[in-house]
Amino acid sequence: MEKIRKAQKIIRIFRKHEFEAYIVGGAVRDHVLNIPLTDIDITTNAKPHEVSKIFKTEPTGVKYGTVTAFFEDEQFEITTYRQDGSYDDNRHPSEIVFSDNVLDDLSRRDFRMNGLLMDDNLNVIDHVEGLEDIKQKVIQTIGDPAHSFKEDSLRMLRAAYFESKLGFKIHMDTLVAMRNQAGLIENLANERVLQEMIKIIKGEHAKKAFITLMDTGIDKYLPGLEKGLIQAVKIKKKLTVDIFFMMAFSLNKIVPKAWKFSNKHRHRYQTISHIVNRVKKIDELTLYEYGIENCLLANHIQVLLGYDEDKEKAIRHMYDKMTIKSELDLKLSATEMLERTQKKAGSWVGNIRKESVEKVLKNEIENEKEVLYSYVLEKIGE
């Protein structure tokens, strides 16, 4: 059964227990737009402990009145009607006040198109002119945009995200408030900014959103991405998240510390930026040091930046022809080196092996045991 049918059942169960409940937010918007639903949120006047008595739940955000309910093999976020008290730090309401009135709950939501309700018969209930916005394809805040963004500045990035996801336009008043309050982005935890940026980059209409980020000056608060955004707008093809960041950080030369990437991602972005900026030409030594995958990515970025023509074929060919791809491929092992020279182990072994690799890669010596051994003797001066 479709997930939305199960949500309808949930609403009916709530009603049997004499509670109100509706599907709310993105699921209603996407249902109206006839696009696939990502997740289904349900809003109700039942308090979290009452929800937990009716459904199998897990307390995902009880502080904010949200529990996750498991129903017929699906998960639903069920949130109690709430009106937010005053906000701290431009992000978190300082106190959560539950409400019995669904209108309070709608007025704390971000955009009019996200303030729609749907009942158990899939009738859409519109208290906030959300349907009109969907029809006109505009994104505008519920209530005064300046006030809304001051309460929660993440909403500015969410506006750009919905532009990217849906291709809608941001309403002029909302856009002006974004321009005026762009600086509030600085107060947000980087994890949240990063999450939202990833969603923006993934959207089908990402370029529109990139233009908004630049136009509003929000880009100034996205460390190291400014040049990348300008470039991304010029490129016809849709960029993946990784390629976007690799390109942006190649233009920026470094990956700013502020971004909370995993070590793996940070390292990769930094490596690509290094190859793009520091390596004049990808040759055997580059391939040996950074591996084929990184070299191909760097080549791709160089092409995107217009630094170079596409060398993919040549790089692959060069790699296939390389006689050694790792130090283990040297025909003289480190153990043999020690045995035959009768010298004590030390940093000299690694150094000579590294030099041998370079010589072999440059075709200056052959990868043959005796040739390599002669080279060792020459280096240690015996």
**Residues contributing to the site for ligand ATP (CB under 6 A):** 25-26, 38-39, 41, 109-110, 114, 152, 154-155, 158
Neighbours of 147 (CB within 10 A): 11
Minimum CB separation from ligand ATP for residue 162, in Å?
A: 7
Length of the chain: 382
Q: Which long-range contacts (CB under 8 A, 24 or more apart) does 306-312 make?
A: 307/276, 311/282
Closest CA to 111 of 171, 44, 182: 171
Considering CB distances under 5 to 8 angstroms, the limit depending on partner class, which of ligand ATP, Mg ion, none binds residue 300?
Answer: none
Nearer to ligand ATP, 8 or 252 (CB): 8
Nearest-10 Cα torsion for 351, 354, 359, 360? 140
Considering CB distances under 5 to 8 angstroms, the limit depending on partner class, which of ligand ATP, Mg ion, none binds residue 173?
Answer: none
Q: Which residue type, as a one-letter code, is found at position 115?
A: G
Nearer to Mg ion, 192 or 369 (CB): 192
Give the separation between CA 247 and CA 226, rounded to whole angstroms.
Answer: 11
Nearer to ligand ATP, 39 or 132 (CB): 39
Minimum CB separation from ligand ATP for residue 167, in Å?
A: 14
Nearer to ligand ATP, 61 or 256 (CB): 61
User: Residue of minimal CB distance from Mg ion?
Assistant: 26
Closest CA to 26 of 134, 178, 160: 134
Q: From the list 12, 39, 85, 172, which residue makes contact with Mg ion (rule: CB under 5 A)? A: 39
Minimum CB separation from ligand ATP for residue 148, in Å?
A: 8
Widest distance between CA atoms in the chain: 94
Radius of gyration over every alpha carbon of the chain, rounded to an integer in angstroms: 29
Asked if 203 touches Mg ion (CB under 5 A), the answer is: no
Closest CA to 212 of 165, 180, 179, 186: 179
Burial class (CB in 10 A: 0-12, 13-18, 19+), 301: buried
Q: From the list 8, 10, 11, 26, which residue makes contact with Mg ion (rule: CB under 5 A)? A: 26
Nearer to Mg ion, 39 or 378 (CB): 39
Nearer to ligand ATP, 38 or 347 (CB): 38
Nearer to ligand ATP, 48 or 224 (CB): 48
Considering CB distances under 5 to 8 angstroms, the limit depending on partner class, which of ligand ATP, Mg ion, none binds residue 163?
Answer: none
The piece of 21-29, 57-65, 102-110, 305-313 that touches Mg ion (CB under 5 A) is 21-29
Residue located via tokens 């976007």: 244
Residues 153-172 that bind Mg ion (CB under 5 A): none
Torsion over CA: 44, 48, 54, 60 (sign): positive
Nearer to Mg ion, 39 or 368 (CB): 39
User: Residue of minimal CB distance from ligand ATP?
Assistant: 26
Give the separation between CA 98 and CA 289, rounded to whole angstroms.
Answer: 59
Considering CB distances under 5 to 8 angstroms, the limit depending on partner class, which of ligand ATP, Mg ion, none binds residue 196?
Answer: none
Minimum CB separation from ligand ATP for residue 111, in Å?
A: 7
Minimum CB separation from ligand ATP for residue 176, in Å?
A: 19
Give the separation between CA 122 and CA 141, rounded to whole angstroms.
Answer: 24
Burial class (CB in 10 A: 0-12, 13-18, 19+), 157: buried
Minimum CB separation from ligand ATP for residue 143, in Å?
A: 11
Considering CB distances under 5 to 8 angstroms, the limit depending on partner class, which of ligand ATP, Mg ion, none binds residue 126?
Answer: none
User: Do 68 and 51 touch, CB atoms closer than 8 A?
Assistant: no
Nearer to ligand ATP, 153 or 273 (CB): 153
In DSSP notation, 74-103 reads EEEEEEE-EEE--EETTTEESSEEE-S-HH
Residues lying near Mg ion in the complex (CB under 5 A): 26, 39
